[in-house]
Amino acid sequence: VDQRGRGAIEAAKRGAVGALVRSMTSAHDDFPHTGTMRYDDKVTKVPGAALSTIAADRLSQQLKQDPKLEFELEMGCQTLPDVKSYNVVGEIKGSTRPEEIITIGGHLDSWDLAQGAHDDGTGCVQSIEVLRLLKASGLRPERTIRAVLFMNEENGARGGQKYAELAKAAGEKHLAAIESDGGGFTPRGFGFEADAATIAKVQAWRPLLAPYLAGQLGPGHGGTDIEPLKDQVKALIGYDCDSQRYFDIHHTAADTFDKVNRRELELGGAAMATLVYLLSKYGL
């Protein structure tokens, strides 16, 4: 990933006119896998592009046969001016402690050439599903549960930053935030950015989460959208699921709805709703 991120900078320092990177995936396919790349204002900005693994293998083979190989690079991408956009927020008011907020979210935007089914359509659907399941169960949560579909995760996380900024400005009291942004695959558990005592408390809920295959609870990463809330919550929580297929489709044209399995998606939503209900009932 450092080659994708800094490849154009390092190549330009050495006199290159462009930089190509082999896609960050273990899949052997014809889909370029894209993602963030950076420039350094002190170094000439040269074009950078991702090649599919099949194309990269072919180019590598051809370069071995002909080290003087020439080829043209034609790219149509451009950076457009910023436009105003929005987070989408829905909530269930808590019954006894409505002033304490638990945020659950995913992000609305996706990488340019991808539909973004797993990154992060599934996270958005699961966040809404948590509210739906709580309503369908008839169990009104004690604390306020807020589902947030964050805008602009992929290109600066400004939706997450604005959400945290507004929360602080409004003097809101946030207990925890959960993000699903690793695909909508079968649950394995949750990762916590929290102190040891908080993690130990949550680990006592393991028997209640294991039936949803989400019993692995320990230190981990919350999520890019909720990270700006860090100093306002007791825990940032990331939904952990089976990651084996994620980088087959991540940031590619192959990240489409047909790759989402309904049972996997629903199990994840149920695991998240269970954790949210426990947080709402027992606090942290």
Residues forming the active site: 153
Measured distance CA(122)–CA(137) in Å, rounded: 21
Query: Residue 35 CB, nearest distance to a second copy (Å)?
Result: 19
Q: Are 108 and 150 in contact (CB under 8 A)?
A: yes
Query: Residue 26 CB, nearest distance to a second copy (Å)?
Result: 6
# residues contacting a second copy (CB under 8 A): 13
Of 186 and 224, nearer to a second copy (C-beta) is 186
Touching a second copy, residues 184-203 (CB under 8 A): 186, 188
User: First-to-last CA distance in the chain?
Assistant: 36
29 binds a second copy (CB under 8 A): no
Query: Residue 250 CB, nearest distance to a second copy (Å)?
Result: 13
Figure out which of the listed residues 172, 232, 245, 253 binds a second copy, where binding follows CB under 8 A: 245
Of 109 and 242, nearer to a second copy (C-beta) is 242
Which range in 52-60, 85-93, 166-174, 256-264 contacts a second copy by CB under 8 A?
A: 256-264
Of 139 and 210, nearer to a second copy (C-beta) is 210
Of 119 and 264, nearer to a second copy (C-beta) is 264
Token couple for 214? 């989400």
Of 156, 117, 53, whose CA–CA distance to 246 is shortest? 117
Which alpha helices (DSSP H) does the chain contain, by range?
A: 2-13, 53-65, 122-137, 158-169, 196-203, 206-209, 246-249, 262-282
263 binds a second copy (CB under 8 A): yes
Touching a second copy, residues 113-152 (CB under 8 A): none
Figure out which of the listed residues 267, 271, 273, 284 binds a second copy, where binding follows CB under 8 A: 267
> What is the per-residue DSSP string for 229-254?
GGGG-SEEEEEEE--TTHHHHTTSTT
Token couple for 155? 């290109």
79 binds a second copy (CB under 8 A): no
Measured distance CA(141)–CA(97) in Å, rounded: 9
242 binds a second copy (CB under 8 A): yes
Measured distance CA(252)–CA(27) in Å, rounded: 12
173 binds a second copy (CB under 8 A): no
Of 147, 191, 180, 156, whose CA–CA distance to 260 is shortest? 180
Q: Which residues bind a second copy (CB under 8 A)?
A: 26, 186, 188, 213, 242, 244-245, 248, 261-264, 267
